Structure 1
Amino acid sequence: MSTITVAGPAEEAATGVSLYRAIWRWHFFAGLLAIPFMLNLAITGSLYLFKDEINGTFFGYRYLVQPSGEALPAARITEIAASAVPGATAKSYKDPLSPERSAVVTVSSDAGATLVFVNPYDGKVLDTVGSTDEFNYVVKRIHSLAYFGDMANRLTEIAGGFAMVLVVTGIYLWWPRRQTGGVVSVRGTPSRRVFWRDLHAVTGAFAGVLIFFLAITGMPWSPYWGANANAWLTEHGLGYPVQLWDDVPKSRKVTEDILPKSGWIIEKAPVPLSDIAAAQSAKPIGLDKAVEIAERLGMAPGFDMTIPSDETGVYTASLYPDDLSDERTIHIDQYSGKPLLDIGFNQYPLLGKAIEWGINVHQGQEWGRFNQLLMLATCLTIVLSCVTAAVMWWKRRPAGCLGVPPLPPKRSVYYGLWVITAIFAIAFPMSGIAILAMIAFDQIVVRFVPPLKRVFA
Structure 2
Amino acid sequence: MTRLKKTILFIHRWLGFISGLVVVIVSITGCLFVFQDEIQDALYDYRKVEIQHKPYLLPSQLKQVALKQFPKGEPGFTAYYGPDRPAMVMMTVPKLGSRYVYINPYDGKFLYQENIERNFFIIVEYIHLYLLLPPAIGGQIVGWSVVIFVVLMITGIVLWWPKRKSDRKRSFTIKWNGRWRRVNYDLHNVLGFYACSIALILAITGLSIAFDWVRTGINKTANLGQTPAIEERVLISDTINKPVVPVNTWDKGFVYAQSKSPQARMFLLYGDSKKASATVTVDAYYQPMHYYKSDSYEFDQFSAKPLRVLMHQNKSAGLKLNDMNYDIHVGQILGLTGKIIAFLTSLICASLPITGFVIWWGKRNKSKKKTTTVKGVVHRRTHKQLAIKP
Measured after TM superposition, the shift of residue 185 of structure 1 is 2.1
Bigger mean CA offset, 236-245 vs 303-312: 236-245
SS in 2 for 1:395: helix
Shift in alpha-carbon separation, 1:133–1:91, aligned structure 2, 3 A: same
Q: Does 1:80 align with 2:65?
A: yes
The runs of 5 or more residues in structure 1 that have no matched partner are: 1-15, 247-269, 404-457
Among candidates 280, 291, 301, match of residue 315 of structure 1:
280
User: Is contact 2:57–2:106 with CA below 8 Å preserved after alignment?
Assistant: yes
Cross-structure match for 2:375 = none
Cross-structure match for 1:297 = 260
Among candidates 36, 41, 44, match of residue 21 of structure 2:
36
**Rounded Cα–Cα distance in structure 2 between residues aligned with 1:383 and 1:235:** 32
CA deviation map 1:278-305 (0-9, x unaligned): 33x1321454333211101116121111
Measured after TM superposition, the shift of residue 360 of structure 1 is 2.7
The AA in structure 2 aligned to 1:141 is Y
User: Is contact 1:204–1:381 with CA below 8 Å preserved after alignment?
Assistant: yes
Bigger mean CA offset, 302-311 vs 26-35: 302-311
User: Is contact 2:75–2:89 with CA below 8 Å preserved after alignment?
Assistant: yes
Q: Does 1:217 align with 2:221?
A: no
The AA in structure 1 aligned to 2:93 is S
The AA in structure 2 aligned to 1:241 is P
Number of equivalent positions: 358
Measured after TM superposition, the shift of residue 114 of structure 1 is 2.0
Q: Does 1:328 align with 2:292?
A: no
Among candidates 139, 144, 161, match of residue 129 of structure 2:
144
The AA in structure 2 aligned to 1:364 is G
TM-score (norm 2): 0.80
**Rounded Cα–Cα distance in structure 2 between residues aligned with 1:199 and 1:304:** 43
Q: How do 1:186-335 residues align onto structure 2 when only pairs under 5 Å count?
A: 186-187=174-175, 189=177, 191-222=179-210, 226-230=211-215, 238=225, 241-243=228-230, 270-274=234-238, 276-279=240-243, 281-285=244-248, 287-298=250-261, 300-306=264-270, 309-310=273-274, 313-319=278-284, 326-335=293-302
**Rounded Cα–Cα distance in structure 2 between residues aligned with 1:23 and 1:227:** 30
Among candidates 348, 362, 384, match of residue 351 of structure 2:
384
Residue identity over aligned pairs, in percent, reads 23
**Rounded Cα–Cα distance in structure 2 between residues aligned with 1:146 and 1:63:** 27
The AA in structure 1 aligned to 2:91 is V
SS in 1 for 2:348: helix
Cross-structure match for 1:260 = none
RMSD over aligned Cα atoms:
3.1
SS in 2 for 1:115: strand
**Rounded Cα–Cα distance in structure 2 between residues aligned with 1:74 and 1:188:** 59
User: Is contact 1:78–1:105 with CA below 8 Å preserved after alignment?
Assistant: yes
Measured after TM superposition, the shift of residue 87 of structure 1 is 0.4
The runs of 5 or more residues in structure 2 that have no matched partner are: 371-390
The AA in structure 2 aligned to 1:381 is I
Among candidates 335, 338, 342, match of residue 305 of structure 2:
338
**Rounded Cα–Cα distance in structure 2 between residues aligned with 1:381 and 1:85:** 44
User: Is contact 1:308–1:334 with CA below 8 Å preserved after alignment?
Assistant: no
**Rounded Cα–Cα distance in structure 1 between residues aligned with 2:357 and 2:151:** 18
User: Is contact 1:94–1:105 with CA below 8 Å preserved after alignment?
Assistant: yes
Measured after TM superposition, the shift of residue 245 of structure 1 is 6.5
Measured after TM superposition, the shift of residue 355 of structure 1 is 4.1
CA deviation map 1:58-104 (0-9, x unaligned): 2x233112345745443222101122113013222212412x21110
**Rounded Cα–Cα distance in structure 2 between residues aligned with 1:389 and 1:65:** 48
User: Is contact 2:257–2:284 with CA below 8 Å preserved after alignment?
Assistant: no
User: Is contact 2:130–2:142 with CA below 8 Å preserved after alignment?
Assistant: yes
**Rounded Cα–Cα distance in structure 2 between residues aligned with 1:374 and 1:84:** 41
TM-score (norm 1): 0.69
